[in-house]
Amino acid sequence: MASKNKHYISIKESREIIKYNIKQMKYYESLKKRKANQDEYIVPMKDSNNLIEIDNLKTVFFTDNGTVMSVNGVSFEIPKNKIVGVVGESGCGKSVTSLSIMQLVQAPQGQIIEGEIRFNSDSLQTNNVNQKLGYNIAKMPTQEMYNIRGKDITMIFQEPMTSLNPVFTIGYQLDEVSFVHKPGVTKEEAKAHSIEMLNKVGISMPEHVYKSYPHELSGGMRQRVMIAMALAGNPKLIIADEPTTALDVTIQAQILELLKDIQKKEQCSIMLITHDLGVIAEMADYVVVMYAGKVIEKGTAQEIFHNPLHPYTIGLQKSKPLITSSSQKPLYSIPGQVPNPINLPDNCYFKGRCNKCCEKCNGKYPKEIKVSDTHYVSCYLYEGSEE
Ligand SMILES: Nc1ncnc2c1ncn2[C@@H]1O[C@H](COP(=O)(O)OP(=O)(O)OP(=O)(O)O)[C@@H](O)[C@H]1O
Ligand code: SF4
Ligand SMILES: [Mg+2]
């Protein structure tokens, strides 16, 4: 592999990388297509109140420059009926984490190489020692994942225009969800269900929208249609990846309000990915802060907003523009750059940018410290304050 601290790759190294990548990609692709025994991907949940438990997840991309560690040992939980907000700067691995949950990481380059994503499915019971069983999505063959994706776990993307097919009507695309997930459903039943979903997301003329094409709708309406589509299979988890970034501010507020409403009414969980700390503060019950492919702090919204511990979380909050801030003062920004995800250092990834860095920080990557039952931080400053 390319040696560390080098800014170029020799032809020999490049050949070695390509050879290594082909071997790895073939191996992981073959795992997905294998005829697996159910014991290989049905595992006990740590807590039956959790809907999703992500445990030491590692998702990488095998690129011509080397292996990109996009998600590098991420662990967090999504409890049932709760909203979990995931924040962090661009490229920290938020989307790749969510795509891993959906088994939608761009293959063959992108692969989950380690860890578990346990999904607490209602279709599974308990084992002989009374532990609730779940599916380990990280090890599940693609064929089995079709029963979960789009039904139990759905996703709303940032830009609805690219997710909707421009050549089919909204009705056609909504009915499709019923046809895929409810075998034997008639055309009339599918239409009635689609209209009901459009009603649920606050579309006032659902019959009219049902017959429309995506380009005939406004951005806000299209995002409502995407939410209707996500709801059509009665999901347990909705992953919303920057659902309002492409919309203007007033429509943003409406869509967020709608998501919050739906979460309560439908009794599902939401994983909300955003850059916007204000959105997280309004919506989330729990917050996960990511940095360079790792979770550096997680806790309840109260803990993260009123008692942020990690210097990066503190910096993030300081860099949030406030209506009361003086317009003369420049906005706070965290100096420095994120380390290269191909050649990650052995110590704290935030070290080069941290204003609280001390002697201890030269040591290995800091381990996760439990500050309360729900609050965890990876930083040497809190060594000795474990619960
Ligand atoms: N298809 C790909 N090939 C190679 N690297 C990729 C690919 N997709 C993502 N990555 C890398 O994985 C890392 C995490 O990307 P990800 O899209 O999860 O970031 P993000 O936190 O969602 O950022 P943003 O806030 O900009 O959406 C980045 O370093 C990115 O360059
Ligand atoms: S471990 Fe050290 S360098 Fe890293 S965030 Fe904490 S104080 Fe800063
Ligand atoms: Mg993203």
* Reported confidence tier of residue 6, pLDDT bands at 50, 70, 90: low
Whether the predicted pLDDT of 190 surpasses 90? yes
Lowest mean pLDDT among 15-19, 52-56, 210-214, 227-231: 227-231
Pocket of ligand 1 (CB under 6 A): 61, 63, 68, 70, 88, 90-96, 106, 109-110, 275, 341
170-181 vs 187-200: helix crossing angle, rounded to 10: 110
Question: Which of 16-25, 84-93, 99-108, 243-252 shows the lowest mean pLDDT across its residues?
Answer: 243-252
Q: Given pLDDT bands bounded at 50, 70 and 90, which one contains residue 219? A: confident
Question: Long-range contacts for 145-150 (Cβ within 8 Å, ≥24 apart)?
Answer: 145/103, 148/119, 148/121, 149/102, 149/103, 149/104, 150/177, 150/180, 150/181, 150/233
What is the number of the ligand closest to the CA of 289? 1
Pick the atom of ligand 2 nearest to 312's CA: 5
What CA–CA distance (Å, rounded) separates 154 from 148?
A: 9
Query: Is 80 exceeded by the pLDDT of residue 324?
Result: no
| Residue 67 clears pLDDT 90, i.e. is over it | yes
Highest-pLDDT range among 8-12, 52-56, 154-158: 52-56
Assign 321 a pLDDT band (cuts: 50, 70, 90): low
Retrieve residue 4's tokens: 């560390």
Of 18-22, 151-155, 325-329, 371-375, the one with minimum mean pLDDT is 325-329
pLDDT of 329 reads: 65
Phi, psi of 286 (to 5 degrees): -125, 150
Higher-scoring residue by pLDDT: 242, 118: 118
Q: Provide the pLDDT confidence category of residue 71 given band limits of 50, 70 and 90.
A: very high
Ligand 2 interacting residues, C-beta cut-off 6 A: 310-311, 348, 350-351, 354, 356-357, 361, 366, 379-381
Q: For residue 2, name the pLDDT band (cuts at 50, 70, 90).
A: very low
**At 71, which helix (H) or strand (E)?**
strand 66-79
Q: How confident is the model at residue 276 (pLDDT cuts 50, 70, 90)?
A: confident
Q: What is the pLDDT of residue 335?
A: 76
The pLDDT score that the predictor gives to residue 294 is: 97
pLDDT on residue 288: 98
Contact yes or no for 293/282 (Cβ under 8 A): no
17: three-class secondary structure by DSSP = helix
Question: What's residue 97's pLDDT?
Answer: 97
Give the per-residue pLDDT at 372: 95
- For a pLDDT cut of 90, what percent of the chain falls above it? 68
- Atom nearest to 92 CA in ligand 1: 21
- 209/186 Cα distance (integer angstroms): 21
